[in-house]
């Protein structure tokens, strides 16, 4: 791994990132880091996870729902699928995820919401929290 992982921010961010997204996913992501991509992985781990996700002003469930809505608005479907798993790990219910995504239909547009519903349903079935 070509990441400078010596900072306290990195260590704190890595711990939260693993708790939310799962150790396997995070280890897979970090294993594939190149010299070129290491700065962005360091940034994400230290800033997004170590600085923002570690704040006590918003609970992790709410952060997860916010992420799902923002990723829908930005059409970042790979990250969206990852964060559906994280939302469940953070205690979000299927109904809460569904409600947040329905909200995106009104504010982000039906095409964005439809795509998010498709991906969320696939992921929720994969992790076996949604019945067939």
pLDDT tens digits, one per residue of 77-117: 999 999 999 999 999 999 999 999 999 999 999 999 999 99
60 pLDDT above the threshold of 70? yes
Give dist(CA 36, CA 105) in Å, integer.
Answer: 37
CA 86 to chain centre: 5
pLDDT, the chain, mean: 94
Distances (CA, A) of 15 to 18, 20, 21, 46, 72: 5, 9, 10, 11, 26
46 pLDDT more than 80: yes
Neighbour count for residue 98 (Cβ, 10 Å): 15
Task: Give the per-residue pLDDT at 4.
Answer: 67
pTM of the model: 0.91
């Amino acid at each position: 791994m070509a990441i400078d992982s010596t900072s306290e921010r990195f260590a704190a961010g890595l711990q939260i990132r693993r708790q939310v997204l799962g150790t396997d996913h995070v280890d897979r992501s970090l294993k594939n880091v190149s010299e070129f991509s290491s700065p962005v992985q360091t940034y994400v781990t230290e800033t997004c996870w170590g600085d923002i996700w570690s704040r006590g002003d918003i609970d992790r469930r709410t952060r997860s729902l916010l992420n799902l809505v923002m990723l829908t608005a930005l059409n970042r479907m790979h990250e969206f699928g990852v964060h559906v798993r994280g939302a469940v790990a953070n205690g979000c219910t299927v109904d809460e995820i569904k409600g947040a995504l329905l909200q995106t239909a009104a504010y982000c547009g039906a095409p964005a919401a439809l795509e998010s519903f498709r991906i969320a349903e696939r992921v929720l079935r994969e992790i076996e929290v949604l019945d067939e």
